[in-house]
Every structure is written in C-alpha cells, then in structure tokens.
Amino acid sequence: MKKIQVFDPSLCCNTGVCGPDVDQELVRFAADAAWAREQGLDIARVNLSQEPLAFAENPLVKAVLQTSGEKGLPLTLVDGVIHCGGRYPTRAELASWVGKSALASIPIRESTSSGCCGPAAKSESGSKCC
C-alpha cells in the first residue's frame, strides 16, 4: 500500500479546523483525508507547529522550506515523492495516487461535528481545547 504524507503549515491544532474563522479548504481536506482513511489508505498529516523535527529530518520537505518557505506548504508526498505542493490535494488526486480512482466520486458526508474547537469541543481533561 502506498503511503501518503501531508506536511501542513503551522496550524493551531492537528487539523486546523478550529476557531471562529475556519478555512474552508482545511474543512474540505479534513473530510477528504478521513474518506481516504475509510477506504483503507495510509494517510498521515504532520503539522509544522507541532512536529517541526519531522520537517527538518525529511530532505525533500527541508529543501522545499529552504527554497519556498511556508508558501510551499502544504506538501504532499506519496511513497516519499512530492506529488502536490502549496495546496491540499483533491479527493480525486488522493484516489488516483493509490489506484482507487473509481472511488473518487463518492460524495463527502456532511459532518455534524463542531470541529476541534467548536462550542461543544473539550479536551480530554474537560477544558476547552483552544
């Protein structure tokens, strides 16, 4: 199985889908990443603000950061090869990279979640997460 790694720019939480002014592109990609996992794909996200060492230890990611800075992020690698930079991949791209193109047309389910920092969100300790 192919391994997909998404190197996110600095986000406030692991998905960036939080706070009062949520970027809709992050919402879309969070849904697409969840869909990819449901299809059995190995997809992992790494957040620059939470895991900077992962960025520094990967020669490709480090090179992109040195030449483009955070403008080169998000950066998507498939089996260690850059497939997408400066934007999040689409669901169709995710599917095609792993040979699941027929599944790319499955609609996105509407989420009833309020996000990681919505009004009802709490951390494991019971306090607000953001």
Domain boundaries, the chain: 3-105
Q: Quick check: 126 pLDDT over 90?
A: no
Residue 15, pLDDT score = 61
Counting residues of the chain whose pLDDT is more than 90, the rounded percentage is: 50
CATH number of 3-105: 3.40.30.10
Lowest mean pLDDT among 35-39, 65-69, 101-105: 101-105
51 CB-contact burial (10 Å; exposed 0-12 / middle 13-18 / buried 19+): middle
Give the contacts of 44 (CB within 8 A, at least 6 positions apart): 3, 4, 5, 6
Tell me how far apart the alpha carbons of residues 84 and 89 are, in angstroms, rounded to a whole number.
6
What pTM does this model have? 0.73
Q: Render pLDDT for 68-78 as a digit per residue (tens, 0 to 9).
A: 999 999 999 99
Alpha-carbon span 55 to 68, nearest angstrom: 14
**Chain segment 85-120, per-residue pLDDT in tens:** 999 999 999 988 877 754 444 444 444 334 343 333
